[in-house]
Amino acid sequence: MTEDAANVFWAARRAEDPSLPEPMPEVWAFGATPEHADGLLALVLAGTKTGTASSLWDYEHTGDPVPAVGDLSIILDGAGEPRALLRTTAIETVPFDEVTAEHAHSEGEGDQTLAYWRASHERYWREHSESPRGFAVDMPIICERFQLLFPALRV
């Protein structure tokens, strides 16, 4: 991603909605690979994915700011191009083994069951965790819900 692309994207969103704040929000992609980023972004754009989960340990390790209600995020595709704007609507931090079936469903992945969520996310954190702690069944998980602000869902 070029910083210019993110700046152009943010300027266009602010032109459409002048109530958006001037500072550009966090810019990031879902997943750990370009393919993962594209697949999860597609679920967001389809309105299927309205939630995500992150390891609190990863945030602590990298020093990145922990998501908070009201945060805006520019979401990149697998090529690093800005494609969506999200607003965080809810945050709950719970142990991995206490993530609910409702939250698993909100993530929109696989068959949207808790069993699928647990298997895929355990594998993800074992393979891609940024924290040396990796994965544990009681690790703190940030369960985030969000609203797609751009592009608007076509109904």
Q: What is the pLDDT of residues 125-140, one digit of tens each?
A: 999 999 999 999 999 9
Average of pLDDT values for 76-86?
A: 97
Residue 10 within any structural domain of the chain: yes
pLDDT tens string 21-48: 999 999 999 999 999 999 999 999 999 9
Residue 69 within any structural domain of the chain: yes
Average of pLDDT values for 13-24?
A: 96
Residue 120 within any structural domain of the chain: yes
pLDDT at residue 150 is higher than 70: yes
| Beta partners for residue 140, in sequence order | 95
Tell whether pTM > 0.85: yes
pLDDT at residue 155 is higher than 70: no
Q: What pLDDT is attached to residue 43? A: 97
Residue 74 within any structural domain of the chain: yes
Q: What is the CATH number of the domain that holds 22?
A: 3.10.400.10
Residue 119 within any structural domain of the chain: yes
Q: How many domains does the chain have?
A: 1
**Structure-token pair, residue 83:** 């494609």
Q: Whole-angstrom Cα distance, residue 126 to residue 103?
A: 20
Q: What pLDDT is attached to residue 54? A: 97
Write the burial class of residue 102 (CB in 10 Å: 0-12 exposed, 13-18 middle, 19+ buried).
exposed
Which domain range does residue 144 map to? Answer: 3-149
Q: Whole-angstrom Cα distance, residue 21 to residue 153?
A: 22
Residue 87 within any structural domain of the chain: yes
Residue 123 within any structural domain of the chain: yes
Q: What pLDDT is attached to residue 153? A: 60
Q: Where are the alpha helices (DSSP H) in 17-93?
A: 34-45, 56-62
pLDDT at residue 154 is higher than 70: no
pLDDT at residue 1 is higher than 90: no
- Computed from CA positions of residues 7, 12, 17, 18, in that sequence, does the dihedral angle turn out positive or negative? positive
Which helix (DSSP H) or strand (DSSP E) does residue 114 occupy?
Answer: helix 114-128
Residue 88 within any structural domain of the chain: yes
Q: What pLDDT is attached to residue 3? A: 79
Average of pLDDT values for 51-65?
A: 97
